[in-house]
Amino acid sequence: MEKFETVSHIRDFLQPIKRSGKKIGFVPTMGALHEGHISLIKEARNDTDVVVCSIFVNPKQFNNPEDLEKYPRDIARDIHLLEIADCDVVFIPSEQEIYPDDKSENFDFGLLENVMEGTFRPGHFNGVATVVKRLFEIVDPDNAYFGLKDYQQLLIVYKMTKDLKLPVEIIPCPIVREKNGLAMSSRNERLSAEEREQATLLYETLKMVKIRSGYASVGEISSFVEQQFRRNKFVKLEYFEIVDMYTLQPLKTWASSNNVIACIAAWVGPVRLIDNMIIFS
């Protein structure tokens, strides 16, 4: 596997590959890799000729300084996992390489960012879009792979790519879960064994929501979810929303959309987790 730390070196390597007509698949990450990331690498491996993974903990997308400081980092382990997964290129840039003049872009995602993560993490999606755009400029991929766990992020990246007419195909990939149902996330590393068990409440609740969507109203389900979380003193619900899959606007009735997803965010000890489940589409 080739390793690069500078923009000029990775460009010098990738540009001739692109010119030769080979397809580049790109998996942007913030490191602390897990099976969810590896599934993205595998998808890229299947679809494209050269697989590139970036590892960059992007300060611009952290609205909480403690979250940035505590974000798990283990580059040696990440490199080892990428080698096993048959990744071709890893890009591990410094902040200076990514933001030489420390400028942020100003995106307008309209209604997509006025809900859920957008409300609870102000500036987060602007930071995500800023870094994804910059990484796309550097890597110039044909395809880029994003997990459905960060569903709102996926829609934001779609919109940014479409609005700016970037020549990259965004490929959504399924959520990968631990055996107990907990959605894989780098932040899970910060959970104790006990907290990991408690954290399954997110997935368990989503499963019950899906079953209940067959007979209960949206309002009844929201009350049910709040009650579920009130009963558990280890897990604190931040939001639960039933929304349209494309506009992300909350639904009052099932009839108001044909494509519905339930999204949830909760704190387990000091760690904030998100998860979601498509209810119907």
Q: How far is the CB of 129 from ligand PAF (least distance, A)?
A: 9
| Residue 83 C-beta: closest distance to ligand PAF, Å | 20
Question: Between 149 and 195, whose beta carbon lies closer to ligand PAF?
Answer: 149
Cβ 132 to ligand PAF shortest distance, Å: 6
Catalytic residue among 9, 37, 80, 124: 37
Of residues 78 and 150, the one with the C-beta less far from ligand PAF: 150
> Encoding tokens for residue 11?
């460009």
Compute the Cα dihedral for 32, 235, 63, 252 and give only its sign.
positive
| Residue 30, helix vs strand vs coil | coil
Q: Which of 35, 33, 70 is nearest to 53 (CA)?
A: 33
Residues that bind ligand PAF (CB under 6 A): 28-30, 58, 61, 128, 131-132, 150, 153
Q: Tokens for 243?
A: 């929304």
DSSP state string for 141-204: -SEEEEEGGGHHHHHHHHHHHHHTT-S-EEEEE---B-TTSPBP-GGGGGS-HHHHHHTHHHHH
Q: Which is nearer to ligand PAF, 132 or 209 (CB)?
A: 132
Closer to ligand PAF at the Cβ: 30 or 175?
30
Please state, as a whole number, how many other Cβ atoms lie within 10 Å of the Cβ of residue 183.
24
* Contact by Cβ (8 Å): 116, 263: yes
Active site residue 9: no
Comparing CB distances to ligand PAF, the nearer of 30 and 176 is: 30
Where residue 116 falls (left for φ over 0; alpha for ψ -120 to 50; beta otherwise) is left
Distance CA 111, CA 249 (A): 8
Shortest distance, position 213 Cβ to ligand PAF, whole Å? 28
Q: Supply the residues annotated as catalytic.
A: 37
